[in-house]
Chain A
Amino acid sequence: MFQVDVRSSTPIYVQIKDQVKEGVIKGIFQPGDKLPSVRELSTTLTINPNTVSKAYQELEREKAIETLRGRGTFIAKSYRPAPDKERLQVVAGMLRKVVVEAHYLGLAKEEVEQMVDDLYAELGGIAR
């Protein structure tokens, strides 16, 4: 379930952190679920174990996961992830591109809004 892109400009430990948090948001991980050990994860991804440890340490400091001595690493029971600032910026950036592109196509603001509404209707389930 974890996947890293070693070529990306995002450091690998950040990618792992993001995927844990994203997994919780998407419901792939439930609070209390066990995460792979440092050894398992570094072996399956063939990455430096220190990188995995660093990701886990930071997640633990952020109270997203907890390590129970001798039992393993788990998603914290009380963890409620908030969409973070950086991700919001990414979405804003993507929207910006869409708006610019639509403008060059000669679409009016209302037409773009209509398209967004249609998309929400189509994807129904995810609107909250």
Chain B
Amino acid sequence: MKVEIKDLNKRLGNKEVLKEINLCLEPGQIFGLVGENGAGKTTLIKCATGIYKPDRGAVYIGGSNVYDNPVVKGKIGYVAEENQYFSSYRIEELLSFYALAYPHFSPERFRELNRLFQLTERTRVRELSKGMQMRLALMLALSQRPQLLVLDEPTSGLDPLAKREVLRLLVQEVESRALTVLISSHHLGDLERICDTIGVISRGEMRAVHTLTEMKVNMRKLQLVFPQGFPAELASWPEVLAVETVGRVNYIVTKQYSEELLGRLRQLKPLVLEEVSLGLEDMFIYAAKEGYR
């Protein structure tokens, strides 16, 4: 399902948590939301799932406003950061509870998914470890056969193996029926494998939204040394995003890398012209800081 977030503003207490957020997710897209603690990720997610009422603007899912709309909410699978189930419930009791709440919930689908994790249905929720609770939450959300899956920090606090299993389950689900996924995390590393698009949120503002492929192609870091010092004009070239100098070595970060640009740089006769690796984390830091478009 298509998700459109339009001019979203949200204030909590007297803090402006979200400012003018605009965002559009296409069906089949896996969107990663990154940002530091307190940037507004969870608030954005709670607005997108219709839990919070926006102060201004709105979130449209499949064309209808999600707030106070049980029909649309029935199509959303939501896995919160802390999953507040009735902790004394047994899993089998939760299943019947979910079947009451969600029209498309399928206990058969749950059992199918559970073949992998082997949770005993007689177990009470509070007896499960954190990782198992997260898997339970994900399985319950997938058993709703949602058209939109919203995951808030799904991998935080999981061991590497559990993390991989959770991501794997997600990948399989996306492959078998193109659902839209919105994931938040402050670990870029968890997201860069599976997301096609990543949005950076900082102090309540959406700083950058990019597809990973496009970013990797356009953003490169080059190491340059010039015999007569750094040509100042370079900093104002439209393709150059940032310039850094360490001793005699200059680094430039490009926002529009091309062979043609490389050719022009060579004409300036640098002693050294080499590409150095630029991690995804650095890319997003530059993108957020320097206003990469």
A interface vs B, CB < 8 Å?
A: 6-13, 38-39, 42-43, 45-51
Contact = CB atoms under 8 A, between A and B. Distances in A.
A46 B167 contact: yes
A10 B28 contact: no
B265 interface: no
A49 B174 contact: yes
Interface residues of B, number: 26
Contact of B220 (A9, A12, A51): A9
A42 B193 CA distance: 10
B30 A48 contact: yes
A63 B172 CA distance: 27
Given A39-B176, A47-B171, A48-B174, A11 B217 contact: yes
Contact of A38 (B175, B189, B279): B175
A61 to B, nearest CB: 17
Given A47-B171, A48-B171, A6 B216 contact: no
A58 to B, nearest CB: 12
A42 B169 CA distance: 11
Contacts of A49: 171, 174-175
20 contacts: A6-B189, A6-B193, A7-B277, A8-B277, A9-B275, A11-B212, A11-B216, A12-B212, A39-B175, A39-B176, A42-B175, A43-B172, A43-B175, A46-B171, A47-B171, A47-B193, A48-B171, A48-B194, A50-B174, A51-B196
Contacts of A46: 164, 167-168, 171, 193-194
Contacts of B189: 6
Contacts of A13: 213
